[in-house]
Amino acid sequence: MSIEKLELVSIVGELPHLNDAIVACLQSKTFHLENAAKLLGSSGSEEQDGSRTPEVNPYAEPLKRLTELDLRRIAIDVTKEPMPAEFTPEQISAGADRIAGDLRSVQEKLRTARQQAAEYESAAIHLKYLQKSDLDLGELRKCKHILYRFGRMPEESVQKLDFYSDQGFIFQIYHTESEYVWGFYFAKQERILAVDAIMKGLLFEQFQLPEELSGTPQEALQELQILMTERKAEIEKLEQAEKAIYEREADLIGRMYRFAKYQSEVWKLRGQSVIMRDRFNLMGYIPVAEKDRFRKYIDKVPGLSVTYEAPWTDSKVQPPVRLKSGWFSRPFAMFVEMYGLPSYHGYNPTVLLAITYTLLFGIMFGDLGQGLVLALIGAFLHKKKGVELGAIMARIGVSAAIFGALFGSVFGFEEALDPVYESLGISFLPLKAMDSANTNLIIFGAVGIGAAIIIISILVNIIVRLRRHNYEEAVFGNNGIAGLIFFSAMLIVIVGILTGHSVLTKPFVIGFIVVPLLLMFFREPLGALLSKKHYEFPPIGDFIASNFFECFEFFLGYATNTLSFIRVGGFVFSHAGLMSVVMLLSDMIGNGHTSWITVIIGNAFVMCLEGLIVGIQVLRLEFYEIFSRCYDGDGKPFTPISVTFDDFSDTQQDSGTAA
């Protein structure tokens, strides 16, 4: 189809109304904002007051204070727009500080309780290794001249202790497990630091025991269980108190966050305008079809001067692009966007892609049963799940079913449609891929379809280049008129050789092969001459060498690009071969339900595997053999400005902002 027509909108008004104008543009959901200074070029920068200090976003700091709260604890309705003038920045900051203050005392107690609970759990893990000991932990801590450390070290390090027998400490082992030994080492107070260094070198890991523990390790473990129970109860109580604060303040937090985020983004968008003393100029694009919707919002802002005009063709900032497609081709726009959007004054290749993609996929995946299943799955995904790819699957599934009917394949059963065509009296159908009589027909047919698609692509390129007055490419290029004549002549020569009808007469060779080659060879000076532009010849040797090899590359490109479509026929045989393997396995298993299960699983496997491969291969043909000849994806998308609220759920995503 075409590219949707846009209008360039220029909004001029008093500076106090700038935010109101931006909000109106946001609410219209149809305004693509551009940097006004870039659009206006030098004139905009000359008029702008360069001495003006940069604006400070008054909502940046309040928003930061809000996001320091745990916003995952509340449900924020991101689809609900904030009320106008609901809060001031000071009110948001004060509200956030008050809520943070209420939470701070609870969270500090909660942090302490969790830390103690973790220490108790760690101590319990290690104390179990001392249960055989009768040491009194309380008495150990009363020692003033002898200090101790508790922990573990690798079992292999124990043997090295003999080297330090004269260092004034002893190490008492109480448990050995998993290549580690647990125990205490004791040393005098004045020697403890030196011993700590030695034990650290022996990979000793120290564990701190809670100060409040006393008695034997067995008694200390029982005491720890009581302490852990108390701490868990305290943690649960504090968590409920924290939850109650968030529940009480949830509505206020949500409203403040939506308002602060919205206003903060509005202030960021102010940077795209040109501010001249006490006035502003805001510029962007709107679709012509949605002009009334835009005016409904922008006309509510007082004191604005709004002008609408066609996009500037001489601007350094190219207009954005929104594709306009029909019902059938609309889902295929996602493939065009993958390659790159066209320029605003270019053309929309979606229809060409939709037709050729559907045709080629249908041929390569031809199976009546599998095609219908693919179409039904695609329709379900699109209608019920909103998956855009499902709409493409529905279309190519129908195409696969049609060609499957021509090939006579129904879930791999190649004879299923034979009675149908016999009753209709159509002797040449079905075109069974495994029949050797159809091999040449399928291979040459695939190449012929490829050649026809290439010719269509060249014709499209000629029309597009002529519209842009690019005569070098339109007339003399390899994808221009000269290239079209040369390529068509070579096809006629090959067909003549295959059919035994030679067309290589002198007039034919000179008029349709030699002359087009010479035109492509001299395409640069001829294009400049036709465009009435000056062309400066390079050194004659460089000119001949570069253009000779480029023409040779053109010739190779015609051959390889055409032969690349052999894969279309190859996948017809591939599909038939894979399904024949499935049928062979089914026959080997024998009759019964097991045989049918094999057929079903085999069909599912072939559908998934071949569907993915064929889809990728057809897309490759589209991009490399078609788009490379007639399409430049150098446009930018039409993106209406909007505010996207952050996702603070547990599966947090990167949030977008207005742009």
One DSSP character per residue, 487-536 reads: HHHHHHHHHHHHHT-----HHHHIIIIIHHHHHHHTHHHHHHHHTT----
CB atoms within 10 A of CB 317: 17
The yes-or-no verdict on residue 116 having pLDDT over 90 is no
Query: What pLDDT digit, counting tens, does each position of 528-542 carry?
Result: 787 777 777 778 887
Q: Is residue 316 part of a domain?
A: yes
Same domain, 518 and 623: yes
* Range from 4-18, 114-128, 548-562 that averages highest in pLDDT: 4-18
Question: What mean pLDDT is predicted for residues 51-69?
Answer: 83
The yes-or-no verdict on residue 53 having pLDDT over 90 is no
The residue range of the domain holding 14 is: 1-52+277-322
Q: Is residue 548 part of a domain?
A: yes
Tell me if 367 sits within 8 A of 411, measured CB to CB.
yes
Query: What pLDDT digit, counting tens, does each position of 173-213 carry?
Result: 888 887 888 888 888 888 889 988 998 889 998 887 777 77
Question: What mean pLDDT is predicted for residues 225-233?
Answer: 88
- Range of lowest pLDDT (24-28, 368-372, 541-545): 541-545
Same domain, 510 and 550: yes
Q: Is residue 560 part of a domain?
A: yes
Which pLDDT does position 657 carry in this prediction?
A: 37
Q: Is residue 236 part of a domain?
A: no
Tell me if 76 sits within 8 A of 645, measured CB to CB.
yes
Query: What pLDDT digit, counting tens, does each position of 318-337 carry?
Result: 899 999 888 899 999 999 99
Question: What mean pLDDT is predicted for residues 547-561?
Answer: 84
Q: Is residue 567 part of a domain?
A: yes
Angle subtended by helix axes 217-269 and 89-127, to nearest 10: 160
Instruction: Report the C-alpha gap between 133 and 183 in whole angstroms.
Output: 10
Same domain, 613 and 474: yes
Query: What's the pLDDT band for 50 if we cut at 50, 70, 90?
Result: very low
The yes-or-no verdict on residue 592 having pLDDT over 80 is no
Instruction: Report the C-alpha gap between 512 and 398 in whole angstroms.
Output: 41
Query: What's the pLDDT band for 45 if we cut at 50, 70, 90?
Result: very low
Which pLDDT does position 51 carry in this prediction?
A: 43
Tell me how far CA of residue 387 lies from CA of 350, 380, 382, 390, in angstroms.
19, 9, 5, 5
Instruction: Report the C-alpha gap between 630 and 578 in whole angstroms.
Output: 36
- The strands making up 180-188's β-sheet, listed across from edge to edge, are 169-177, 180-188, 146-154, 205-206
Q: Is residue 571 part of a domain?
A: yes
Query: What's the pLDDT band for 296 if we cut at 50, 70, 90?
Result: very high
Query: What's the pLDDT band for 355 if we cut at 50, 70, 90?
Result: very high
Instruction: Report the C-alpha gap between 330 and 249 in whole angstroms.
Output: 46
Instruction: Report the C-alpha gap between 541 and 544 in whole angstroms.
Output: 5
Report the CATH number at residue 290.
3.30.70.120
Query: Helices marked H in 564-592 — which ranges?
Result: 566-589
Which two tokens mark 202?
């022996």
The yes-or-no verdict on residue 159 having pLDDT over 80 is yes
Same domain, 429 and 547: yes
Q: Is residue 593 part of a domain?
A: yes
Which pLDDT does position 288 carry in this prediction?
A: 94
Which H or E run includes 9?
strand 6-14
Same domain, 365 and 493: yes
Query: What pLDDT digit, counting tens, does each position of 70-104 carry?
Result: 888 888 777 777 777 889 999 999 999 999 999 99
- Range of lowest pLDDT (163-172, 498-507, 576-585): 498-507
Query: What pLDDT digit, counting tens, does each position of 369-390 carry?
Result: 999 999 999 999 999 888 889 9
Same domain, 529 and 402: yes
Angle subtended by helix axes 368-385 and 593-620, to nearest 10: 70
Q: Is residue 251 part of a domain?
A: no
Question: What mean pLDDT is predicted for residues 261-285?
Answer: 91
Same domain, 149 and 27: no
The yes-or-no verdict on residue 658 having pLDDT over 90 is no
Which pLDDT does position 395 carry in this prediction?
A: 94
The yes-or-no verdict on residue 546 having pLDDT over 70 is yes
Final residue belonging to a domain, choices 215, 231, 262: 215
Percent of the chain with pLDDT over 90: 36
Query: What pLDDT digit, counting tens, does each position of 407-459 carry?
Result: 888 988 888 888 888 888 888 788 887 777 788 888 889 999 999 999 999 99
Final residue belonging to a domain, choices 322, 341, 359: 322
Percent of the chain with pLDDT over 70: 95
Instruction: Report the C-alpha gap between 112 and 126 in whole angstroms.
Output: 21
Final residue belonging to a domain, choices 265, 291, 322: 322
Angle among Cα 105, 108, 113 to the nearest 5 degrees reads 125
Same domain, 282 and 383: no
The yes-or-no verdict on residue 148 having pLDDT over 50 is yes
DSSP string, 352-363: HHHHHHHHHHHH
Tell me how far CA of residue 285 lies from CA of 25, 156, 311, 441, in angstroms.
11, 75, 8, 52
Same domain, 293 and 355: no
Domain count, the chain: 3
Which pLDDT does position 593 carry in this prediction?
A: 60
Question: What mean pLDDT is predicted for residues 625-649?
Answer: 85
Which pLDDT does position 28 carry in this prediction?
A: 93
Model pTM?
0.74
Compute the mean pLDDT over every residue in the chain, rounded to the nearest whole number: 86
Same domain, 433 and 484: yes
The yes-or-no verdict on residue 280 having pLDDT over 60 is yes
Report the CATH number at residue 210.
3.30.70.2750
Which pLDDT does position 48 carry in this prediction?
A: 46
Same domain, 306 and 377: no
Same domain, 428 and 449: yes
